[in-house]
Amino acid sequence: MSFYKKRAFRPRTGFFKFTCCTGCGFELAYFQKSLEETLRSFDFTFFRLASSAGSPEGPFDLALVEGAVTEPFQIIELKKIREKSKVLYAVGSCAIVGGIPAIKALSPEIEIERAAYKERFFGLSSTRPNVIDDYVKVDGHIRGCPPGERDLEEALASVLLGKKPEFIEYSVCMECKRGGNACVLVEEGLPCMGPVTNAGCGALCPAHHRACYSCFGLMGQANVPALKGKFRKLGFSEEDIERFFTLFGALEPSSTLI
Ligand code: SF4
Ligand code: SF4
Ligand code: SF4
């Protein structure tokens, strides 16, 4: 089985999903037109979203894993994926910082379950998001919700070239300034999370006069106290500020993301 057109040598690749909206898979399979040529270099032997054929058994040269870990059986599955894969990338904010499923770590989880599903949903109890890194060694993080094209291309090209990927490791503000956008935090007093958010989206929201809400997750060594102080000066309540910083996961920026 193969989703993409055949080439002479292509790394055997599996795309795996845990708890999430599947948006990262959609992005890769259907919306990254500029990546089509790169994707043809991979043999997607397991990609349930793209084809019901194929097997998750492996072995794989590359495993792409989206979604957070919220159920005990997922830990076992994830470890098996790691064992049979040479390279494993976590894909998207759910897998890397908890994303939307991280709400279970912010409120008594039973309340979340009852409000949303009227039944038990999250089997894995925790006071923090359960991300892929908690359970297996990860070779790289393709950030975003869904991921940006630049890091996706870097991750895939690195597998083809047999090199370590170099992901973006600076804030959205850098991209925003490069794009010549007016600062919505300074000029309009909007609660922009750009100063603490990992770049990769091209400062999409500020470019459209919207505040960044940190869907790429906090970057390493983010100055969280400084931005919280700025938000307080702008008149935002502690409750608002907490919400801004936990919308896409509740991990501290000191978490060991590479
Ligand atoms: S990171 Fe965003 S797009 Fe990807 S699965 Fe999670 S919610 Fe969906
Ligand atoms: S608009 Fe947001 S991302 Fe852009 S420079 Fe201002 S704070 Fe940074
Ligand atoms: S500007 Fe912020 S919220 Fe908007 S896409 Fe980029 S990281 Fe996500």
Q: pLDDT tens digit string along 197-207? A: 999 999 999 99
Distance in angstroms (rounded) separating the CA atoms of residues 103 and 225: 22
Q: Give distance in angstroms: CA of 99 to centre of ligand 1.
A: 7
- 101 pocket-lining for ligand 1 (C-beta < 6 Å): no
The pLDDT, as a whole number, for residue 117 is 64
Dihedral (CA of 7, 9, 14, 15) sign: negative
Q: Highest mean pLDDT: which of 94-103, 114-123, 133-142?
A: 133-142
Residue 185, pLDDT > 90, answer: yes
- Cβ of 49 closer than 6 Å to ligand 1, yes or no, is no
Task: Please give the residue that has the higher pLDDT: either 237 or 258.
Answer: 237
Tens-digit pLDDT profile for residues 126-165: 666 688 999 999 999 999 999 988 899 999 999 999 999 9
Q: Return the pLDDT at 51.
A: 81
Q: Is the CB of 200 under 6 A from ligand 1?
A: no
Kindly give the pairing relationship between strand 43-47 and strand 12-17: parallel
Using alpha carbons only, give the angle 21, 26, 29 rounded to the nearest 5 degrees: 155
| Ramachandran quadrant class, 22 (left: phi over 0; alpha: psi -120 to 50; beta: rest) | left
| Residue bearing the CA closest to ligand 2, atom 1 | 183
Q: To the nearest whole number, what is the mean pLDDT of the chain?
A: 86
State pTM to two decimals. Answer: 0.87
β-pairing verdict for 12-17 and 85-91: unpaired
**CATH 3.40.50.700 in the chain, residues?**
12-161
Which ligand 3 atom sits closest to the C-alpha of 202?
A: 6
For 12-161, CATH gives: 3.40.50.700
Alpha helices in 28-108 (DSSP H): 36-39, 72-83, 93-96
| pLDDT for 254 | 39
